[in-house]
Structure 1
Amino acid sequence: MSSLRATLDFLLYDWLKAERLTSHARFADHSRETFDAVLDTCERIAREKYAPFNRLVDTQEPQAVDDGQGGLKVVLPQATHDAHEAYVASGMVSAAQDYDEGGMQLPYTIEAAANGFFATASVSIGSSLLTKGNANLLMVHGTEMQKEVFARNEFAGRFTGTMCLSEPQAGSSLSDITTRATPDGDDFERDPLGARYRLKGNKMWISAGENELAENIIHLVLAKIPGPDGKLIPGTRGISLFIVPKRLVGTDGQLTGERNDVALAGLNHKLGWRGTTNTLLNFGEGKSPVRGSAGAIGYLVGKPHEGLRCMFHMMNEARIGIGMAATALGLAGYYASLDYAKNRPQGRPIGPAGKDAAKPQVRIIEHPDVKRMLLAQKAYGEGALALMLYCALLVDEQKTGTPEDAEEARLLLEVLTPIAKSWPSEFCLEANSLAIQVHGGYGYTRDFPVEQYWRDNRLNMIHEGTHGIQAADLLGRKVVMEGGKGLQLVAGRINRTLESALQRPDLAQHANDLAKALQHVGAATKAAWATGDPQAALANAVPYMQAFGHVVIAWIWLDVLLTVPDRGRTPAQVGRVQAARYFFHYELPKVPAWLKVVETRDPTCADTPEEAF
């Protein structure tokens, strides 16, 4: 934890100048002292309530048992209950909310940094990511009654929340969902909690979809309202969003005692994140009858057929959160393998006459190849952490900056969010693989934590939008939207860093290398769309995202180095310089190879017939 804290302090205060946020009226009551107090509290809770139980929640997975009412419930280890209770008591669920809402009006930048402690300590115990995203969505798109009854009780810790998108037959293809919502009687629009519908369908991969951590679970469910002919509108146009509570609630926020028709159908047993309940939920199957109806009671959020627009408010938050989780796991593996390398004696150095077996063994950190693996982990993990905090700062600028600054932050986030989610998911996973390698055979056993970090991190390339989906979103939409304005803004920020770096002899070569890579990304973007054929352009979207992500991380590292003096450096500063140097020498040269298939619109993958496999 101490290593993470030192890195966070540097990135927040020396690099991002996070104290400047207090010049915004919303954060005027804060100071570095209040920011540090939040970080101190979260670091302590993570150290005491999360880290000691990371292996326990991995081995004692959630269990589905008979609830005594003809259904199933989930049993979790007591450690999970204790951690959740401590997190809620800290006030972090509502930290970013207004004082009037019981929040701290804390900048998202500080909240994101603080949540890094929990993800590093035990990502699968969780830190209410979906509950906060659920409540934040309702605060934007819900009615006043929905905010009062559902969102505020989530912020208070009485309720938890989920997002229910995927279905067994549809996966990530939301246009193919079949869960339907029909008006509940002739007076369905008169319910004070919102237009009342009855939902029937099945949802899959629902994190925290069933638990006893709080009084209630508030599901946000995507479903389609049938047309006058009873048929569902094809595609995404017909999707609406509904609040479907596990237990029914009155307008006073108190439970009515009735169980909604939401049933746990089973648990998904995952490679990692085993401490997080992952469920298949059935809505309206009749196993939890309520008010003698057919279907689970749900309340419309926003307008009919605008569900996806509302849900993306939550999904974008979740994607940044997943990027932070992937980053934290990468750093956890790095810290573990660094400690191992410093203490594990093995082998001898090669001298002019070869190895001298009579000499004592050296610690493996003295071997150049082990240093290579450690530098790669450091470059990936700390580079990703800087990117996540930079994106968090953009969220604050979007919410509290001038109209011009807010619009610029919005466009920058449009382009950077797919990278913020996917780049750490891929390369911090690689960092975890290297952490196992540093441990050698021991890394492949459960005697050391690095194998669990890898398993936990492998999920992050999949959930909240797979790697391929993020890549298609980046190349197919984000870099070309509004005439490429967002891409131009990112390039402008990078060029600003380049101008400063070129003035320093120790950074000039890095700056020149990055300038060439940036120019290459711009040329490849144009070449990909030269024919106007989306299929040809997007066939190599993933290598495009890998290349663009590497350019962004190189920029972030170069910008970080502008805060490091060119002489008289501390050991920590030397470490940052060397990690950045590794990235520029070993990683940035990969960009041309990735972009070659993009700019030539290489058809190899798209044209390979099924029979060839």
Structure 2
Amino acid sequence: MTSGLRAAIDFLLHDWLQVEALCARPRYAEHARDTFDAVLDTCERLARDKFAPHNRTVDVQEPRMEDGRVVLPACTHEAWRAYAESGMLAAAQDAGLGGMQLPYVVEAAGNAFFAAASVSISAAMLTVGNANLLLAHGTPAQRRAFALPQLAGRFAGTMCLSEPQAGSSLSDITTRAEPDGPDFEVETLGPRYRLRGAKMWISAGEHELTDNIVHLVLAKIPGPDGRLVPGVKGISLFIVPKWLVTPDGQRTERRNDVALAGLNHKCGWRGTPNTLLNFGEGRHPVTGPGVGPGLDGQGAGAVAYRVGAVGDGLRCMFHMMNEARIGVGMAATMLGMAGYLASLEYARTRLQGRPVGPAGKDPAQPPVRIIEHADVRRMLLAQKAYCEGALALELYCARLVDEQRTGEAAAAEEARLLLELLTPIAKSWPSEWCLEANSLAIQVHGGYGYTRDFPVEQYWRDNRLNMIHEGTHGIQALDLLGRKVLLEQGRALALLGRRVEATAARADAVPALAGHAAALRQAWQALLAATHAAWEGGDPVAALANAVPYLQAFGHTVIAWLWLDVALVAAGRPDAASLGRVQACRYFFHYELPRTGPWLQVVRTRDLTCATMPEEAF
């Protein structure tokens, strides 16, 4: 499987994105194509040897609770150690932080192998995101005590947002944090609080893979009257370690008041424990030297250190959330790719049926491989178009991160705007259409596809979570149509439009692609018209009633643009892989891009069929 994935990654990185050109920049001057290849070789080998063989194991041997702790299979511990020792947790960090100073796009490509091999073992995404948030918003002491141990693999990280009564509606959270005594602001690790509440759906919230777990928790600080400030403006962000630490990041033997209340049993991603955590319920009361007296003088509440200013929690947390959304998109892409490559191999070896036509009517003729049937080729080509298109999207977004970090001021600003606009697409499009690829992979396998004798049913179950992970489709759609396309008076949308037109203009000169260029321009103009029509009159209820169809149309248009850009590189090359990419582009323009018309029709007309459906009529 990895050879096909590696070929796709190499083409996109080197032939399409020209990542070796980044080595001319001071930050990446120590690197060259050889070092990038060496990193990918290591990731491919570790994924093949330490992750892939255990993908089924972690699916059937789910995490279990014993005496308030989570027990995981031994293979998970071995895989984590191998990954941490590889240096990939800090791959894109400064050398001074223990990193390799790799371009982020190379780090993302390397991590793709682990997601394809076993997505629920390779759940380091939150640890890296947690550390990156603290590097961006934490104090020097917080970075030293909590971020650096995560990048070294000694600690792991989580994000604790949702609550049992408030899933995605963060304005309704009730977890509260109160100053830990009169001197709470002089604590070395940041202003110290005592935190109480419950958090739900916390991935990797409890385990023994690392010495410590660093929880980043959203909570509200009560006002002078003891009441919580309503809405998101009252939310602050806190570090709540499982074990208390010294200022230099050494774990003590004093347990914080964070308790495992239960495990959620999921249809997929079963290798990653998904937890309900209780903070400050008194199961592990914190008292003694180095902490304050607690809310009631008895050490009640989990010790927490505030990150950033009071009320600035959601802004800080979006640093991690946006990174996680792109990570979810890559995970969805790799699950789709794994299913595609498995079904391709199956279709090349499975004998069944005979060709359509006179020759196929002779029962004495031997059966043919199912890849020779037109409908199977249709399903394989659809999978290829979805998964390689999604991979192009994720690597393009990763390349924007590098541009934002190291480009000239104007280019860095453009990268920031484009990344803001594309993040909802980078999360949502692969999680819908690479899931569809997994469904098609099951279909290619026929009856075997929905049995556990073949891996494709697990890929589908694992991928089904990604439409919900880190913000549902509906949330991403509201973000896109309600905020991102309007960003800075539509500046980001106009910038993307210029890039779309630049690709179309280049394709005009290639006879095999000129028709696609015309179709792309037409689709882009239709998208712009629907965007303006949706907001005509300024009524958000009507404008956002069909935000999800808008998201789908926007995503399909972006993928069409990227496929055309990729095809411009592949066109004219004699090898089979390049022919395959041109053909996948053709498939997307002929079979997929026309779907945008009906989606945009209900957006443009502000159709209220769904919004006005009476509840009793259901």
Q: 2:28 matched to 1:27?
A: yes
The equivalent residue for 2:263 is 267
The equivalent residue for 1:88 is 84
Which of 590, 602, 611 lines up with 2:607 in the alignment? 602
Counterpart of 2:304, as a letter, is G
Map 1:380-459 to 2 at 5 A.
380-459=386-465
CA distance in 2, matches of 1:127, 1:31: 28
Map 1:1-400 to 2 at 5 A.
1-66=2-67, 72-291=68-287, 292-352=298-358, 355-400=361-406
Residue 353 of structure 1: how far off its partner (Å): 7.1
Residue 293 of structure 1: how far off its partner (Å): 1.1
Secondary structure at the counterpart of residue 132 of structure 1: helix
Secondary structure at the counterpart of residue 170 of structure 1: coil
Cα RMSD, aligned residues only: 0.8
Secondary structure at the counterpart of residue 147 of structure 1: helix
The equivalent residue for 2:477 is 471
The answer (yes or no) to whether the contact 1:200–1:284 under 8 Å persists in 2 is: yes
Which of 507, 512, 521 lines up with 2:527 in the alignment? 521
Secondary structure at the counterpart of residue 562 of structure 1: helix
CA distance in 2, matches of 1:403, 1:496: 21
Secondary structure at the counterpart of residue 233 of structure 2: coil
The equivalent residue for 2:540 is 534
Counterpart of 1:135, as a letter, is A
Q: Structure 2 length normalisation: TM-score?
A: 0.98
The answer (yes or no) to whether the contact 2:571–2:582 under 8 Å persists in 1 is: no
Note the alpha carbon deviations across 1:141-187, whole angstroms, 9 max, x for none.
00000000110111111100000000000000000000000000011
Gaps of 5+ in 2: 288-297
Q: 2:463 matched to 1:462?
A: no
Number of corresponding residues: 607
The answer (yes or no) to whether the contact 1:130–1:161 under 8 Å persists in 2 is: yes
Note the alpha carbon deviations across 1:467-506, whole angstroms, 9 max, x for none.
1000000000000110000000111110000000001111
Note the alpha carbon deviations across 1:337-360, whole angstroms, 9 max, x for none.
000000000000122476221110
The equivalent residue for 2:579 is 574
Q: 2:498 matched to 1:492?
A: yes
Residue 251 of structure 1: how far off its partner (Å): 1.2
Q: Structure 1 length normalisation: TM-score?
A: 0.98
Note the alpha carbon deviations across 1:346-398, whole angstroms, 9 max, x for none.
00012247622111000000000000000000000000000100000000000
Residue 569 of structure 1: how far off its partner (Å): 2.0
The answer (yes or no) to whether the contact 2:141–2:248 under 8 Å persists in 1 is: no
The answer (yes or no) to whether the contact 1:87–1:127 under 8 Å persists in 2 is: no
The answer (yes or no) to whether the contact 1:46–1:117 under 8 Å persists in 2 is: yes
The equivalent residue for 2:294 is none
Name the stretch that deviates more: 255-264 or 45-54: 255-264
Name the stretch that deviates more: 350-359 or 453-462: 350-359
Counterpart of 1:233, as a letter, is V
CA distance in 2, matches of 1:421, 1:565: 29
CA distance in 2, matches of 1:345, 1:225: 65
Note the alpha carbon deviations across 1:42-67, whole angstroms, 9 max, x for none.
0000000000000000000001101x
Identical aligned residues as a percent? 71
Counterpart of 1:558, as a letter, is L
Counterpart of 2:14, as a letter, is Y
Gaps of 5+ in 1: 67-71
Secondary structure at the counterpart of residue 448 of structure 1: coil
